[in-house]
Every structure is written in structure tokens, then in C-alpha cells.
Amino acid sequence: MNIMRHSTTAMVALLIATTATAQKTPAYLDPSADIETRVEDALKRMTTEEKVRIIHAQSKFSSAGVPRLGIPDFWTDDGPHGVRPDVLWDEWEQAGQTNDSCVAFPALSCLAATYNVELAHLYGVSLAEEALYRGKDMILGPGVNICRTPLGGRNFEYMGEDPWLTSRMAVEYIKGLQSKGVSACVKHFCLNNDEENRFTVNVKVSDRALREIYLPAFEAAVKEGGAWGIMGAYNLYQDQHLCHNKRTLMDILKGEWGFDGVVVSDWGGTHSTDEAVKNGLDMEFGSWTNGLTHGASNAYDNYYLANPYLAGLRKGRYSTAELDDKARRVLRLFFRTSMRTDRGHGSMCSEAHYAAARQIAAEGIVLLQNKRNALPIDPRMTGKVLVVGENAIKMMTVGGGSSSLKVQHEISPLDGMIAALGREKVDFARGYVGDTTGNYNGVTTGQDLSDRRSPAELIAEAVSKAEDADAVVIFGGLNKSDYQDCEGHDRQTYSLPYGQDELVSALAKAHKRVIFVCISGNPVAMPWANDVEAIVEGWYLGSETGNALADVLTGAVNPSGKLPFTWPVKLEDVGAHALGTYPGTRREGSDIVDEEYEDGIYVGYRWADKHGIKPLFAFGHGLSYTTFKLSGARRTDDGAGGKATFSVTVTNTGKTEGAEVVKLFIRKADDGMDHPLRELKDFKKVRLAPGESKTVELSYEGGVSAWSIE
């Protein structure tokens, strides 16, 4: 009997096993299988045509999956500050959906100014949840290019002039984003520091400056952030386009750094099938095919990595080795994102996301000057506040290029001040008329900012109204229009546009408590800085702009932002302008513009320190409504090891709770090479109650010849 039972059992077990085998889930569909197993299993099931189809776009923002194998299409979307509204399949115009109004988070220049890596992580998580809800697998961000000129059109999208600050913030943003199964696409790799001539500028830069200034944030994104995507840049380096540049993509990114993710072209950044095949491009987006023999415009099968590549494979011009590498990387991206079954559905426009946007915004606002404690404005005041300026009412979430958004709401500075103080305490004067338009890619603000009055009339109105005000708060600065803080062009002057200087000077003469809030992504010239009481850098803060600004201006939030870039007095104080190398020189008989980064490693405060130039406001500068004292700064290691460690005590010597950023600057050890006097190599943000002290540890992996804690 036993034998019978055993044999029956064995037969049943065999039957189950066979049945199970017959229905066994293929490895590539098994979420419990490791990713590399799934990649290899999917790859071996795919045809050459299917492999080619997944490495180039099929629409404006999507690329194909493998329908036959149940691998879904892959969806990307802009941008670094929020999830862009959907456009038509093959047009930049709006799809006209009514379910894609998002939360606009503050621009990354503001995030950098928080010097708070925990907020960077929160930012990434929040943005990923909005992306998931919108069915997006990859966010085209963060932008981590270094700001080397205050004219940079996209500096508002980047995180300042210092590689260490940019690296720390980018790593946590990426980790937050990818923790939810949404891929980052860190951009624009690399040397994409100008918008002027962005498609044709050929950057010439020393290897040292490349390694010490322009690559570190990308290297940290890959090695520490674990970025799954990198976006090539439009421009050229060593005469080769950066979307298929052998040195940067094959030798450095994939070779030295071991990047296992996907290189995505910038939209329209691909120019050659041969180079794209051989130099490491893995996903081609946004090409125009009228450069190819087919002449069809934007026909996806005519992309450089589409039919031309397929034809080359069939003719034996290309081996399948590169194709399999590209397909593996794209499949790996799928299994990290779209093929996951545990990502959930995210959320959009949640209270948590608005709270995060407001917190990041308020913590990034920088109090630059505050004479006679002009700020904060006490909400219990009995008098009036006069709010002045177009930037008090103009929506800034629309415009600026690809980071433009369609928001569920955007609280203006004026509305924020009214909400905080009460309508009866707030008066408004236009002050100046700048750009009254408000649309991008078919998204319109719906605002009517038209005003036919002359500058003189507008200034006269503001001066007249100021007579009845206890304080005058001017919201000026730049905006997201062409030649301002906007993709595609750089600014053409360091000065404020639209006659703002005259307005500020007139109000400074007429009133003793004038506060200027600069809404911008860049520094600007301030010839009247000594004539006003307070100056605030207000950034582009997104949906919660007005609330965050009012929080800080009324003291509900004690400002703790610090500048992520140097604020020069004049443009000539900046290396690229002092040396006259920006924006470069057009090559004879060519559309190529050669730009030599002659300032080398001396970018931003490194240049100012080297040349003894006093900026209007220094890198890392930012005031508080309380005061802090640093004491007992000392080096705590014996200098023998490779790591230098330091300690300092921070005390809140004022009457208000506040946060201080403690920064370690070092000068590298003498090794025969010239080194900047100071380089930021660590920072910590500490929150202290009045009278409270904390000891902060800081460190640097390397030799040090001098150090300071600021």
C-alpha cells in the first residue's frame, strides 16, 4: 500500500510539476526574479526589429514596449519641477486633457538654496507620486549643470555654481524619485551651461575643470544616486555632439563610472546613426528626420536609431553587440519601472504635495539684506502694506521652456500677502509692465495683465500710494519669457528689465521701509541695494508661491535659505565675462560656436576669491530673523589619515527659533597644483531654539592645507 501511495504521490507531483512547467511564469514576467535574469530572458525572446523599436521614440514622450511579450510602452515626461501636461501624440500642442493639472514644486535653484538634503529627498518622492498618478515612468530631470554665468537662461532649473552642493541635493532628489519606481533622467550631460547657441556651441575645457567642476554632480548622480537615466546634451564637446559623444558617454559614463542605465538623447539632439550606434546613445527622442534621406518630418521609423539602424544591421554595417547592449539597458529600465507590480498609483495634488511645495519654498527663500529689521512685517500691524510690481500678480508656472507646467493652482505673492495680513491691510500698485503674455505650448495663464499706462504714470501711482503705507514690498525681478529665465536663450543684460531700477529708486526716495523681493532664477544688478531696507531672493516657487513668501515676510517662517551661487555686483566680476569667452566665437563658414572655458576651475566664488572680488552677496549668504554664533571650530583628526574631520558649536543667540547652515570650506593639500582658496566640501543644517547650542561634525575625504567653517 505504501509503495502504491508513494508512486501515486510521485505521479501527482510529476503532474503538478509538468503542469506548472507548462504554465510556469516566464522569468521576465516573474517580479520575484532578479532583474538581470529578467533582462536576459526577455532579450532572448525578442526579435531584432523589437529590439530596435524599444530604443527610439514612438511619440513625443513615449517609446515602444514589446506588445507581443506583454511589455508596456514606456512614458517619459518633463520636468524637474512638476509633471508636464500631456501633449498630442506627435505635436507639442496640448492634448486638451482635463486631468493633468499638477502641483508645481519650487524650481531646483530654490531647492538648492535650502541646503537641506532631506527636503531634496521629499521633493523626489512627491514628484514621483505625481508622475505615477499620471502614468509616467521617467521624469526628465533633475538638471544639474553648473551655473557659470548669471545670464544662463536655465539656471533656475539648476542647483547653483558649486559641484558639491549640486551633488548632495541631486543624489537625494534622485533617490526619492526612484524609491517610488520612477526613473530620473539627469540632465544635460554635459557642459550644457549656456542656452545661447545651445545646439551648436562646442565647449573647450581643461580636463581638470571638466573633472572638478562640470562632471562631479553627474558622477554623484550615477555612483551615489543610482540614476537609471542620463540625458545627453545638445551641444558639442571636442567637436562631437554630446548625445553620442564617445569620450563622455563610452569612456567616462559607461566605462569609468560603470553606468548601467540608459542614455536618453535630448529632444532633437541626435545627428548621426553611426555615432549613436557606436558612442553610447540608448534611447533617441525628439529627432527631426528631415535631415535624413527620407525627408519625412518626425516620422519615428525614420529616426537615426530606427529604420536606418535596422537597414545597417541587415547589411552587416553594425554588429548586434551594440544593439543588444542598448536593448539590455532599456529592458533593465523597464524592469526598474514600468514592469514593476509594486509601484502603486501615486497621488496628485494631495495636501502632502502642497505642504511639501510650501515647505521647500519657504526654506529656500533667502533673506539677503535686512537693515533696521525692516522684516518681518508683523501681521498684527494696524497700518497698510503696499505691494508693488508685476511679479506680485504674474503667474510664473507657465513659460521658461520645457519645465513649463499646467497647475491646479498658483498662489500669487499678492494673494499670499492678502491671505496672511487681510485684504484691508494690503494695497497694490502695478509699478511696471513687463511681459503681459502668459502661454507656453498651448497652456495659457488666462491672466489679463494688460496696462496701457506709461512707466511714469505707473511709478507715480506707486509713489503716491506709498505715502499711506507702513511698508512697501516690491515684487520684481525676472520672469519666464524669452531672454529672461527661459530655455533657448540667455539673458542679454545683467540689469533688471522693464525699468524696474527707476521704480525701486523712486520708491526708496519716497519711503523709509522698502523691501525688494527678487522673483528670479539668477542674480541681477542692484544699483539701489543701499537705498532699500531689505532684499529677498524669492525664486520661482511654484503652486505655493504666495503662501511661502508671505510665511517668510511676516515671520511665520524664519528664513534659512542660503545662496547657491555668487551674486556679483557687475557682470565683469564673473570669469566667463571678464575673460570675454562667453558666449563663444562662431567658427568661420560654420554654425559651430567655439566657447573656451578659460576660467577653468575658477567658477563662481572660486573666481571671486582668486581675484579678491567682493560680490554684492556671497555664495552661501543668507540672513535669519535670529542670530547664530559659531564657536570652538577645530580640526578633530590627527591629519595622518585620508579623512579630515572637524567640529564646531552653533548657538542660537537670538530670540527666535531658526535654522543655520554650517559650511566646511577647505583648500586642498599642496600638491604642486594651483587650488582655489576655498572649496565647499561639507555642510549641515541645524535647527535651534533660542539659546540652544549643538555641536556639528563636518568632514572631507582628502588632504587639506587650509580650512574654514562658515
Summarize as ranges the residues that interact with ligand GLC (CB under 6 A). 78, 140, 187, 266-267, 402
CA distance 321 to 319: 5
Query: Which backbone phi and psi does 632 adopt, to 5 degrees?
Result: 65, 25
Considering the complex, state which of residue 323 and residue 486 has its C-beta at the smaller distance from ligand GLC: 486
CB of 612 to ligand GLC, least distance (A): 37
CA distance 229 to 103: 23
What H or E segment, with its residue span, contains residue 634?
A: strand 628-635
CA distance 261 to 660: 37
CB of 85 to ligand GLC, least distance (A): 12
Greatest alpha-carbon pair distance for the chain in Å reads: 109
Q: Is the peptide bond before 379 cis (omega within 30 degrees of 0)?
A: no
Considering the complex, state which of residue 140 and residue 664 has its C-beta at the smaller distance from ligand GLC: 140
Considering the complex, state which of residue 267 and residue 335 has its C-beta at the smaller distance from ligand GLC: 267
Burial class (CB in 10 A: 0-12, 13-18, 19+), 336: buried
Which stretches of 559-615 are DSSP H helices?
Answer: 575-578, 605-610
Considering the complex, state which of residue 359 and residue 522 has its C-beta at the smaller distance from ligand GLC: 522
Considering the complex, state which of residue 488 and residue 703 has its C-beta at the smaller distance from ligand GLC: 488
Q: Is the peptide bond before 190 cis (omega within 30 degrees of 0)?
A: yes
- Nearest residue to 498 (alpha-carbon basis) of 476, 530, 519: 476
Considering the complex, state which of residue 57 and residue 429 has its C-beta at the smaller distance from ligand GLC: 57
Considering the complex, state which of residue 84 and residue 148 has its C-beta at the smaller distance from ligand GLC: 84
What H or E segment, with its residue span, contains residue 427?
A: strand 426-429
Considering the complex, state which of residue 185 and residue 601 has its C-beta at the smaller distance from ligand GLC: 185
Q: How many helices (H) and strands (E) does the chain have?
A: 18, 25
CB of 255 to ligand GLC, least distance (A): 25
Query: Helices 351-364 and 545-553 sit at what angle, rounded to 10 degrees?
Result: 50
CA distance 517 to 537: 6
CB of 285 to ligand GLC, least distance (A): 7
CA distance 564 to 561: 9
CA distance 82 to 406: 9
- Nearest residue to 114 (alpha-carbon basis) of 559, 544, 444: 559
CB of 156 to ligand GLC, least distance (A): 13
* DSSP structural state of residue 710: -
What H or E segment, with its residue span, contains residue 551?
A: helix 545-553
* AA letter at 495: S
CB of 281 to ligand GLC, least distance (A): 15
CB of 617 within 8 A of CB of 161?
Answer: no
CA distance 388 to 66: 56
Does the active-site annotation cover 485?
A: no
CB of 267 to ligand GLC, least distance (A): 4
CB of 402 to ligand GLC, least distance (A): 4
CB of 56 to ligand GLC, least distance (A): 15
Considering the complex, state which of residue 229 and residue 308 has its C-beta at the smaller distance from ligand GLC: 229
Look at the block and give the residue holding cell 519641477: 81
Query: Which backbone phi and psi does 582 adopt, to 5 degrees?
Result: -85, 140
Considering the complex, state which of residue 318 and residue 440 has its C-beta at the smaller distance from ligand GLC: 440
* Beta carbons within 8 Å of 223's beta carbon, 6+ residues apart: 257
- Nearest residue to 619 (alpha-carbon basis) of 167, 163, 222: 163
Strand partners, 215: none
SS3 231: strand
CB of 64 to ligand GLC, least distance (A): 18
* DSSP structural state of residue 377: P
Give me 279's grid cell. Answer: 558612442
Choosing from 78, 266, 490, 551, the catalytic residue is 266
For the annotated catalytic residues, the residue numbers are: 266
